[in-house]
Amino acid sequence: MSRGEVHVLFPFPPHMPNIGIVMLQGSREAHAQALYQASKLLKINVVIKELRTVGDLNDSDLAAVVIPGGESTTMRKVGGHEGTKILPEIYKIIRKKPFFPVLATCAGAILLADPQDGGEPLLQAKVERNAFGRQVDSFFGEVQVAGSNESANCAFIRAPRFTAVSENSGIAFLKGEPVGIREKNLIALTFHPELSETSIFHEMLLSSAISNTGGDQI
């Protein structure tokens, strides 16, 4: 096992998609644990790859990527053209392979909606930064998952807000307001599902990765 690589193994069929976690900011270990739980529930094995550089991205044969939350301005600087350059490379992959699965949470959703790399937005949805308030206004809210009876108490930490979403794209709602959307295989959430007790959004990502095998992999 190489540095920055974790194999999640269960007595399931041997297919193991590689799932990358962008290691810029945010609850990266919590995302890894949520992927672990999701893989167990879906009865698949996965390999979790830590993505720190463009080299990590290019060498990983990835089936899906997680972009955790954090502070979007800092993430742009650290992961952008003046830093590791990993974010512009991910944007290129998404534009080249529009069905490539991505889970972007909080600041990750901001980056997809407004990549600021000279190219078109990666989401049709519009996002407003810090729209739920400042850090002191952070809260836990009951999020309802579309198409199911499942809900989860999720963390909204200096959370952004969708100001416009495409029709039928909503997958998660807070008091009727869309706080999670899905466009093709891009899942964007304004909250932190990795800090809740549900892994349903990570299950969605892994299901897309499995069904997309042989398609838009890196």
Evaluate whether residue 218 is within a structural domain: no
Please return the burial class of 120, using the count of CB atoms within 10 Å of its CB with bins 0-12, 13-18 and 19+.
exposed
Q: Is 194 part of the annotated catalytic residue set?
A: yes
Give the domain range for residue 156.
5-211
Catalytic choice (194, 197, 202, 203): 194
Bridge partners of 186? 102, 183
By the 8 A CB rule, do 203 and 42 touch?
Answer: yes
Evaluate whether residue 155 is within a structural domain: yes
Evaluate whether residue 92 is within a structural domain: yes
* Average predicted confidence (pLDDT) for the chain: 90
Q: Is 106 part of the annotated catalytic residue set?
A: yes
Count of structural domains, the chain: 1
Catalytic choice (192, 197, 202, 203): 192
Q: Is 31 part of the annotated catalytic residue set?
A: no
> Is residue 215 pLDDT above 90, yes or no?
no
Catalytic choice (31, 50, 106, 154): 106
Evaluate whether residue 216 is within a structural domain: no
Evaluate whether residue 43 is within a structural domain: yes
Amino acid at 185: N
> Is residue 63 pLDDT above 70, yes or no?
yes
Evaluate whether residue 217 is within a structural domain: no
Say what percent of the chain tops pLDDT 90: 73
Q: Cα 121 from chain centroid? A: 16
Give residue 1's pLDDT band: very low, low, confident or very high (50, 70, 90): very low
Evaluate whether residue 55 is within a structural domain: yes
Residue 99 belongs to domain with CATH number:
3.40.50.880
Query: 72-79 and 86-96 are packed helices; what angle lies between their axes, rounded to 10 degrees?
Result: 90
